């Protein structure tokens, strides 16, 4: 990690993928939400999948509480 994870710091990494069927996916790792920059680290991972029919699925996993969000179409 390039930041300390303390208040007023934020960092994320993301990976894009173009799948053989034309869908796309983005995996993002966050040290905390950008809206909570004044708080301590609360890491989470998101996975967004955009299908060729226009359907978007978003998954989120909070790494400290082990909470998952169910997939939702957007």
Q: Within a domain: residue 7? A: no
Residue 3 domain-assigned? no
Domain membership of residue 1 (yes or no) is no
Residue 61 counted as domain residue: yes
What pLDDT score does 73 carry? Answer: 47
Whether 38 maps to a domain, the answer reads yes
> What is the C-alpha end-to-end distance of the chain, expressed in Å?
31
Per-residue confidence at 27, pLDDT binned at 50, 70, 90? Answer: very high
53 φ, ψ to 5°? -85, 5
Supply the pLDDT for residue 70.
55
6 part of a folded domain: no
Give percent above pLDDT 90 in the chain.
43
For the chain, the domain total comes to 1
In a domain, 4, yes or no: no
List the domain range (segments joined by +) for residue 28: 12-73
Beta carbons of 68 and 61 less than 8 angstroms apart: yes
Residue 49: predicted pLDDT: 96
């Amino acid at each position: 990690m390039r930041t300390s994870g303390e208040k007023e710091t934020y960092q994320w990494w993301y990976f894009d993928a173009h799948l053989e069927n034309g869908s796309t996916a983005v995996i993002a790792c966050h040290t905390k939400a950008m809206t909570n920059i004044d708080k301590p680290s609360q890491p989470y991972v998101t996975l967004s999948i955009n299908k060729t029919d226009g359907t978007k699925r978003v998954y989120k996993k909070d790494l400290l509480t082990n909470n998952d969000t169910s997939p939702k179409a957007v």
